Structure 1
Amino acid sequence: MTIESILGAIVIGAIIGAIGRLLLPGRQAIGWILTIVVGIVAALLGTAIAQVLGVETTPGIDWIELVMQVLLAVVGVGLVAGLRRSRV
């Protein structure tokens, strides 16, 4: 794993996590670091699920894979926010 791929995962994770957080209604009591971590995990899981389901990769943006990643980020942000709320 190179530095470029690690930085790319962080940037993509931050974008996916932020989109997921924006799409989730209400206020989430989690910080941006947790949002980025959830986004990275959602991006990795979304890519893995897309590969297992045989989503065809095309030149340019893979919209089906991107939608899977964002939906997983919405679920992840909701779960993390709910777990943090129940602990307080």
Structure 2
Amino acid sequence: MSVETLLIWLLVGAVAGWLAGIIVKGYGFGLLGNIVVGIVGSFIGGWLFGQFGLFTGNGIVGSIIGATIGAVILLLLIRLIRRA
């Protein structure tokens, strides 16, 4: 993995985690937490979109959309677990 690829992963993770924190109000984990939530969300989003045969598009915008949707799902799951 090149340095550029790693930086893109971190950027997409940070943006997706930040957007998911705004969508799911009340959840902010700071920069590092948002990156982790965004990266985990990208795996969740990629898997879900693959299961349903959906496509978010190419490039960084498509990656951010898929990662944000996955991160929102992750934050909602965290909310459910914390309430239980």
TM-score, length-scaled by structure 1: 0.64
Contact 2:19 2:68 in 1 (8 A): yes
2:18 maps to amino acid? A
Contact 1:35 1:77 in 2 (8 A): no
Instruction: Return the offset for 1:55.
Output: 2.5
Aligned positions, number:
81
Structure with more of its chain in helix, by fraction: 2
* Cross-structure match for 1:5: 5
Contact 1:14 1:35 in 2 (8 A): yes
Instruction: Return the offset for 1:54.
Output: 2.5
Q: Structure 1 regions of 5+ residues with no counterpart? A: none
- Measured on the aligned residues, the alpha-carbon RMSD in Å equals 3.2
Q: Does 1:18 align with 2:8?
A: no
2:38 maps to amino acid? G
For residues 21-70 of structure 1, the C-alpha deviation after alignment (integer angstroms, 9 at most, x for no partner) is 01112x3363321111000111132123323432247556549x82x432
Q: Structure 2 regions of 5+ residues with no counterpart? A: none
2:13 maps to amino acid? G
1:72 maps to amino acid? G
Describe the shift of the 1:75–1:59 C-alpha distance in structure 2 as closer, same or farther (beyond 3 A).
closer
